[in-house]
Amino acid sequence: MREIDLIIFDFDGTLVDSREDIANAVNFTLRELGLKERGFQEIMSHVGKGLEYLMEKILGEDSISLVAQALAIFKDYYREHFKDNSLLYPGVKEMLEYFKDKNKVVVSNKQRDFVVLTLKGLGADGYFKEIIGGDNGKCVKPNPCPLNDTMQRFGIEKQKTIMVGDMDIDVLAGKEAGTATCAVTYGIGTREQIEKARPDYIIDDIKKLEEIIR
């Protein structure tokens, strides 16, 4: 087991299953723009690197000029429908309660207010000391800077920090920051991508963190 004082969590695909609400918001946006809807798996393949990246990929080169309009439509819709179907993954609430005395932070590439809204809506916002979104104006994963900034703010060294996420970009950010890394297999990222990034731990149940962290 590792002596850990700071647990940094990814959000979508790690703590919350928000896939259906994201896909619905994307397809609503496409309908509003008079464009063809996309399949669930195609949409998910572009999730994780921020909303602007998602929209650029979904619209493609032929409709790239519509990105700003698409972002506005998506945000307005998602703000009203962010938890129609979104749920905490099994075991998340129990795990957060188990680690109630640990410093816990969310570092997501998602817009911060959407993360906050969802956590509040699901009754899990009180577990985190800080929530960092991809719209903080600095950098996003896999760049390690949001992790480095968090460790510096809390005064916790990298040897006592772990990054927990469901995608290779989470693992890569943690490795670059020098933290321990743990990947979950039930989220948006594929197992192949996760294994290629070579995290320190791979778990299929978030409660298994209790067997890793002390």
Catalytic residues: 10
Rounded alpha-carbon distances, angstroms, from residue 93 to 99, 123, 150 = 10, 9, 23
For residues 10 and 167, is the Cβ–Cβ distance under 8 A?
A: yes
DSSP state, residue 156:
-
Distance CA 137, CA 64 (A): 22
Q: Per-residue b/e over 183-204, b at no fewer than 16 CB within 10 Å?
A: bbebbbbeeeebeebebbbbbe
Q: Which two tokens stand for residue 121?
A: 């809506």
Q: Which two tokens stand for residue 130?
A: 């800080």
